[in-house]
Amino acid sequence: MCYDAGRMGTRRRVVILGSTGSIGTSALKVARRIPDRMEVVALAAHSNVAKLAEQAVEFGVRHVCIADESKCDELKRMLPSGVTVHVGDEGLCELAALEDANMVLISIIGTAGLRPTLRAIEERKDLAIASKEVLVMAGELVMSKAREAGVQVLPVDSEHNAIFQCLHANPGGSTEVNRLILTASGGPFLRAPREELKNVTLQQALLHPTWKMGQKITIDCATLFNKGLEMIEARHLFGIPIAQVDVLVHPQSIVHSLVEFKDGSLLAQLSCSDMCFPIQYAITFPQRVDGHLKQLHLEDMCDLHFERPRLDDFPALNLARRAAELGGTMPAIFNAANEEAVRAFVAGRISFPGIWETVQKVYEQISPHSSAMELDTILADDFAARTLVHQLLS
How many residues of this chain interact with Mg ion, rule: CB under 5 A? 3
Nearest to 107 by CA among 88, 85, 83, 133: 133
Q: Considering only 15-23, 48-56, 156-164, 339-347, which stretch makes contact with Mg ion by CB under 5 A?
A: 156-164
Closer CB to Mg ion, residue 64 or residue 135? 135
- Residues 220 and 115 sit within 8 Å (Cβ to Cβ): no
CB of 142 to Mg ion, least distance (A): 18
**Rounded CA separation 163/257 (Å):** 6
3-state secondary structure (DSSP) of residue 233: helix
In sign, the C-alpha dihedral spanning 15, 19, 23, 25 is positive
Shortest Å distance, C-beta 109 to Mg ion:
14
User: Which of 283/350 has CB closer to Mg ion?
Assistant: 283
Range 324-363, binding Mg ion (CB under 5 A)? none
Residue 354: CB minimum distance to Mg ion, A = 24
Distance CA 197, CA 312 (A): 13
Is 157 a binding residue for Mg ion by CB under 5 A? The answer is yes
Q: CB-wise, 130 or 378, nearer to Mg ion? A: 130
Q: How far is the CB of 336 from Mg ion (least distance, A)?
A: 19
Long-range contact set of residues 59-66: C-beta below 8 Å, sequence gap at least 24: 59/28, 59/31, 62/100, 63/15, 63/94, 63/95, 63/98, 63/100, 65/17, 65/91, 65/92, 65/94, 65/95, 66/91
Shortest distance, position 175 Cβ to Mg ion, whole Å: 26
* CB closer to Mg ion, 78 vs 213: 213
E strands, the chain, in order? 12-17, 38-45, 63-66, 84-87, 103-106, 126-129, 153-155, 177-184, 245-249, 255-261, 266-270
For Mg ion, the closer CB: 140 or 157: 157
Which position's Cβ is nearest Mg ion? 157
**x-or-dash string of contact with Mg ion, 110-149, rule CB under 5 A:** ----------------------------------------
Q: How far is the CB of 138 from Mg ion (least distance, A)?
A: 19
Rounded Cα–Cα distance for residues 166 and 174 (Å): 10
Q: Choose between 253 and 377: whose C-beta lies nearer to Mg ion.
A: 253
Residues 182-211 that bind Mg ion (CB under 5 A): none
Could you list the residues that contact Mg ion (CB under 5 A)?
157-159
